[in-house]
Amino acid sequence: MLDYHLHLWPHSVANTWYEIDQIANYCDEAQRQGVGELALTEHANRFVEVRDVVGPWWLRQGHEPTSRVMAEYWDFHARSSLDAYVTLAQRAKDEGLPVKIGLEVDYHRGQMDELSSLYREYPFDVLIGSVHWIDAWAFDDIDHAVSMGEWTIRDVEQCWDQYTNALEELAACGAVDVLAHPDLIKVAGYVAPSPSEFWARMTDAARAANVAVECSSAGWYKPVAEQYPAEGFLDLLVAAGVSFTTASDAHELGRVSRGVGEVAQLLEARGVRELASFNARQRLMVPLRSA
């Protein structure tokens, strides 16, 4: 199996560190749970190189009070070196650890070409793409009162539509290889009255762009208490012939590969027998259970 969504640092930590032993421990824990290949996919917003490209984008796309919250978020997180992170991941590969060099790429409206140019400067194996924000609203920041308060004053169906628009554009821009937690919009437990229409649009976007889709256990441990993607959404993706990765979205050792075996079972129950592995951003299909 694969765990193609892993972070080296928890959200609560601002200043990151670089330790090969941590990656080795991740690999040991993954192997203990039957996972043979990992992708290190730290958040792009951790890195000053990304910050320098996107700038204070929340001023262009946000509104009060969420733009103020986003400014604080980036000031806290965007402090580390992308060069040092990639060097660490490359060292792990060179020492024989079963890892891929990856990054979790955020969708930035109107700036994906610039970001793609930056990412091409690095030897990434896989780029996983995420929509974490609607304009400057971090809809998935379940621990922030202002962000969660927005859910009580916004139209849920409109939020799902805006999220789906962004995911469609992210898939089509060619900047990423995998769509991470594709129905993340549900994370706080607010689900559109008819989610199937949005699932269909996201499925069409993944198929048209020929990107893989992540099947992630992370949602089981969030308010929505459901894996990504939802089972009905997963049925559509399988029927469309989309390829998959599996993932835990862990931010610490104790959560590495947690639930990956269970999401793999969801895929197997639908006849999926292969997963998408990546090297130098080239996809290779590998057996699900021996990956």
Q: Which domains, and CATH codes, for the chain?
A: 2-287 (3.20.20.140)
Q: Are 247 and 180 in contact (CB under 8 A)?
A: yes
CB atoms within 10 A of CB 84: 13
Beta bridge partners of 274: 287
Task: Report the DSSP beta bridge partners of residue 80.
Answer: 47
Q: What is the pLDDT of residue 230?
A: 98
- Give pTM, 2 decimals: 0.97
* Tens-digit pLDDT string for the chain (291 aa): 999 999 999 999 987 777 999 999 999 999 999 999 999 999 999 999 999 999 999 998 878 899 999 999 999 999 999 999 999 999 999 999 999 999 999 999 999 999 999 999 999 999 999 999 999 999 999 999 999 999 999 999 999 999 999 999 999 999 999 999 999 999 999 999 999 999 999 999 999 999 999 999 999 999 999 999 999 999 999 999 999 999 999 999 999 999 999 999 999 999 999 999 999 999 999 999 874
Q: What is the pLDDT of residue 167?
A: 98
**What pLDDT score was predicted for residue 291?**
47
Task: Quick: pLDDT tens for 241-272.
Answer: 999 999 999 999 999 999 999 999 999 999 99
> Are 121 and 147 spatial neighbours (Cβ–Cβ below 8 Å)?
no
User: Tokens 């996201």 — which residue?
Assistant: 202
Per-residue model confidence (pLDDT) at position 153: 96
Cβ atoms 201, 236 nearer than 8 A: no
pLDDT for 64 equals 85
Q: Dihedral sign, CA of 149, 154, 155, 160?
A: negative
Query: What does residue 154 show for φ and ψ, rounded to 5 degrees?
Result: -105, 160
